[in-house]
Amino acid sequence: MKLKYADITPEAIYLDRRAFMVGAAALLVGGARAEAATPPEPAALKATPNPKFRIDDPPTKYESATTYNNFYEFGTDKSDPAHHAASLRPRPWSVVVDGLVAKPQRLDIDEVLKAAPLEERIYGLRCVEGWSMVIPWIGYPLSMLLRRAEPTSKAKYVEFTTLKDPEQFPAQKPGLFGLGGGLDWPYTEGLRLDEALHPLALLTVGMYGKVLPNQNGAPVRVVIPWKYGFKSAKSIVRIRLTEEQPKTAWNKAAPQEYGFYSNVNPDVDHPRWSQATERRIGEFRRRKTLMLNGYADQVASLYTGMDLRKNY
């Protein structure tokens, strides 16, 4: 779907329309929200804290990090993921690693968990709408899983694919409740191979000392802390290595708003709002957005010679 900037609804009108649709949906379901099943409390998950990957800011409260989310497979409202997350079944689950690799494989989620020692990293997560969190994630470098599959010399990119199952993800259904932002399911994201192999890129299976909650991307996701949050694909079922740049969900839906790289860059505004400041969940004041989300020292070399205004 190709959109022109003039086709984009002004934010105030969009919010009014969205409020109307959410209200209409609530009337139709007759209070079903209040009766929605609650996901079970995630089990404890042990990990060794990694002092090299942590920031000094205090973590966002667990309750906030698990109830204010973008996960459009469950709906567009920030409360939808927590409200509908009980429909996701994170077991049984497997992840396929294929494409341009010497050793394609299908790994059961328990094999994924055991593929490398788990560590805890405290990362900042910045979302394109202007809010941010600090979360203690649990996982191991994505590079460890990729190297296990042995990428070939032709591999240049990594594509991530999220589960497509309307029974588990209600917003993938057509009609009133298919309010998934007009996305083309399944959700796909991508990185250059050198980005995916960077030590900061985390294959993530838990947070806050627990297994990943459903609404945060159970049972396995990636966290790419120097990019906007939508680049960190959730509930992954396939990791495919390619020679050509993969087509990604938000770039297909609105290419004038969401580029392939999607690096946190305060100097590049979203067409409908500034990215120069952000609001940390739990705080009222806004703070200055840092280049590459504060990880410029670690990752700026990946983009040497690139115009990050053009390659947004």
Look up the CATH number of domain 37-303.
Answer: 3.90.420.10
Q: Is the pLDDT of residue 3 over 80?
A: no
**17-21, 159-163, 183-187, range with the lowest pLDDT:** 17-21
pLDDT digits (tens, 9 = 90+) for 73-118: 999 999 999 999 999 999 999 999 999 999 999 999 999 999 999 9
Q: Is the pLDDT of residue 257 over 60?
A: yes
For the chain, give the percent of residues with pLDDT over 90: 82
> How does residue 182 score in pLDDT terms, banded at 50, 70 and 90?
confident
Q: Is the pLDDT of residue 31 over 50?
A: no
> How does residue 37 score in pLDDT terms, banded at 50, 70 and 90?
low
The predicted model scores a pTM of: 0.87
* CA distances from residue 2 to 17, 250, 256, 257 in whole angstroms, order as listed: 22, 12, 9, 11
Euclidean distance between CA atoms 76 and 73, whole angstroms: 8
34, two tokens: 């209040």
Task: Please give the radius of gyration of the chain, using alpha carbons only, rounded to the nearest integer.
Answer: 19
What pLDDT sits at residue 36?
A: 55
Upstream peptide bond of 92 is cis (omega within 30 degrees of 0): yes
What pLDDT sits at residue 225?
A: 98
Euclidean distance between CA atoms 120 and 53, whole angstroms: 8
pLDDT digits (tens, 9 = 90+) for 122-155: 999 999 999 999 999 999 999 999 999 999 999 9
